Chains A and B, each alone.
Chain A
């Protein structure tokens, strides 16, 4: 399974990478690296340059001059503080719920279904099945399923979970729900990959030593699954922090749920405020880089891929 590679630790890498570098390595590496340099790194520098531009004196909309307007960053932080905080809060909550929902599922498929290859593969296929149908349509489907007048919302109102004048769609809860749903497969797969290969005899050893199931989980299972937990969390938290589809008004959100992504989109594509959109993107990227560098310090770069 392609996605299964996410959580993998390259065990055999060191044993086979014995050959010395030469013209062949360069021929293999350079095309890809030049491509990423040109179309990944340069655009990031483009963002930094654009984020420091100042308005054109002519006052034309969308026209800017190269400059060092550090003030752009101050403005972005003061103007968009609620959206910035909201993005990280939603990302934190959705990642937490995705972990909570995914862990037992990944444990069941990876540990309890060992030796039953076909059912195991079938269940993994069902976990990744959402990837094969449009992400936007899945989100719209939830919007319609959970809309007012539908059977689920009728029930929610009848038992008093929501008052008669309260709606679910458009609330922060709906956005966090959608984000959690959309990113569960990204959490389940890396968890499954680590849980699928760990030695179950360790659990038997724990039980033989009279450890309670809770203690076995706390002392054996969870620590062993840590690589999966970490890559799953990274693969969910980062895209969620930058997502803007779920929070947008036409999907599960409202103007009160907008996140960083919504502001970048509006400033870049509608208001043509390129420096502001770029400064916001650079800030988001900076936070992500801090998170990644903490991760790299803990586990090295070999485990990244």
Chain B
């Protein structure tokens, strides 16, 4: 029995190493001194980091991805938060129907969502571009926002809002002074998730973006000729930024909790 936990620990570390191998590889090859195809290690350089935008329209693609991600995240977060509050706080008819309608987009393969929207825009005579891409991204981010915010609404004690009402706060004050601040961590988590999903989406975007290039689309198109190291630079930069944000929030969260435990 004593040896078992050790075996499990070793296994888990190995499994995590396996998950991280392609990430380390991608970051390492952003420093590869390659000219055209970035497949063989040719020496260390930081020139790709210094001249990212010189390669094709990679920075335009990155800009589009950020714009699409930001706009879709704002819309999806507002719509999704409202849905999450309604689902947890109110009882209404057709509840299971609403649950199902919110679950189905998550359960639908991306290729079906992509082709469906493309067929819809095509039949409606809508030219695909930036607007159609944003419409598509809001649609598939929405359910994930609901899931994330719903988990937060469930931990919210309704007594706090009742206390506000007892102290003659009007519904608007109750929402903005009590409910919203308490929900904020969940809303921020949902917005980050939504942005990450939008930023990395390829399949749905490919069907609905027309001539607009996003970062994943840039990589897919480049894949047949060999992806330039500049793509690794952009992906590595985004990765390092995201991981710093996550680690900082996790560590401050853990510290806050241990401080609270000490007080108690």
Contacts and interface: CB of A to CB of B under 8 A. Distances in A.
A184 B25 CA distance: 18
A101 B95 CA distance: 36
Contacts of B231: 134, 137
Given A117-B254, A242-B109, A292 B146 contact: no
Tell me whether chain A's interface is mostly helix, strand or loop, or mixed. helix
Interface in B220-264: 220, 223-224, 227, 231-232, 235-236, 238-239, 242-243, 246-247, 250-251, 253-254, 257-258
Contacts of B18: 181
Interface string B94-136: 0110111111111111111101111110110000000000011
Nearest to B234: A134
A121 B250 contact: yes
B53 interface: no
B90 interface: yes
A107 interface: yes
A241 interface: yes
A220 interface: no
A138 B34 CA distance: 19
B244 to A, nearest CB: 10
A151 to B, nearest CB: 11
B115 A129 contact: no
Nearest to A14: B91
A81 interface: no
Interface residues of B, number: 107
A133 B26 CA distance: 9
A21 B15 contact: no
A260 B109 CA distance: 11
How many A residues are at the interface, by size bracket? 35 or more
A265 B12 contact: no
B51 interface: no
A154 B124 CA distance: 54
Contacts of B93: 21
Given A47-B116, A133-B235, A304-B103, A261 B89 contact: no
A6 interface: yes
A18 B92 CA distance: 10
Contact of A40 (B39, B105, B254): B105
Contacts of B192: 2
A47 B116 CA distance: 5
Given A6-B147, A101-B15, A105-B15, A281 B23 contact: no
A301 B95 CA distance: 9
Contacts of A35: 79, 138-139, 142
Contacts of B136: 39
Contacts of B108: 40, 238, 285, 288
Contacts, number: 313
A275 B20 CA distance: 41
Question: Which of B156, B227, B236 has the largest number of chain A CB atoms within 10 A?
Answer: B227
Interface in B131-168: 135-136, 138-139, 142-144, 146-148, 150-151, 154-156, 158
Interface in A274-291: 274, 277-278, 281, 284-285, 288
A234 B107 contact: yes
A158 interface: no
B246 A125 contact: yes
Interface string A47-71: 1011000000000000000000000
Interface stretch (A23-31, A72-80, A160-168, A221-229): A23-31
A305 interface: yes
12 contacts: A2-B190, A13-B87, A28-B90, A40-B101, A104-B11, A109-B12, A144-B29, A181-B19, A242-B111, A265-B207, A301-B96, A301-B103
Interface of B: 1, 4-5, 8-9, 11-12, 15-16, 18-23, 25-26, 29, 39, 79-80, 82-83, 85-93, 95-96, 98-113, 115-120, 122-123, 135-136, 138-139, 142-144, 146-148, 150-151, 154-156, 158, 189-190, 192-193, 196, 200, 202-203, 206-207, 215-216, 219-220, 223-224, 227, 231-232, 235-236, 238-239, 242-243, 246-247, 250-251, 253-254, 257-258
